Amino acid sequence: MSEIYSGTKFETKFLGERFEYIKRTDELIYWGKYLSEHRMAPKYPGGSSGNISFRLSEMGKQFIITATSTDLENLKSDDFVLVENVFLAEKKIVVFGKKEPSSESMLHFSIYAQRPDVMAIFHGHWPDLISLATQFGFVQTKNEQEYGSLALVNEVLEVIDNNNFIIMKNHGFLSMAKSIAQAGVIIQSIKLSTITQLENPDA
Ligand SMILES: [Zn+2]
CATH topology of domain 11-199: L-fuculose-1-phosphate Aldolase (3.40.225)
What does the mean pLDDT of the chain come to? 94
Distance 15 CA to ligand 1 centre (A): 26
pLDDT digits (tens, 9 = 90+) for 11-27: 999 999 999 999 999 99
| Nearest one of 80, 76, 68, 72 to 20, comparing CA atoms | 80
pLDDT digits (tens, 9 = 90+) for 45-59: 889 999 999 999 998
Distance 170 CA to ligand 1 centre (A): 10
Would you place residue 64 in the very low, low, confident or very high pLDDT band (cuts 50, 70, 90)?
Answer: very high
pLDDT digits (tens, 9 = 90+) for 129-149: 888 888 889 999 999 999 999
Distance 48 CA to ligand 1 centre (A): 9
Distance 147 CA to ligand 1 centre (A): 6
Distance 61 CA to ligand 1 centre (A): 22
Average pLDDT over residues 166-188: 97
pLDDT, position 9: 92
Report the DSSP beta bridge partners of residue 180.
Answer: none
| Alpha-carbon distances of 31 from 24, 37, 51, 66, 150, rounded to whole Å | 11, 10, 11, 12, 26
CA distance linking residue 73 with residue 52, whole number of Å: 12
Q: What backbone phi and psi angles, to 5 degrees, belong to 159?
A: -110, 0
Question: Residues 23, 103: contact at Cβ < 8 Å?
Answer: no
Distance 84 CA to ligand 1 centre (A): 22
Helices 180-193 and 25-37, packing angle to 10 deg: 20
Distance 168 CA to ligand 1 centre (A): 8
CA distance linking residue 11 with residue 14, whole number of Å: 10
In single-letter form, the type of residue at position 98 comes to K
Enumerate the domain spans of the chain: 11-199
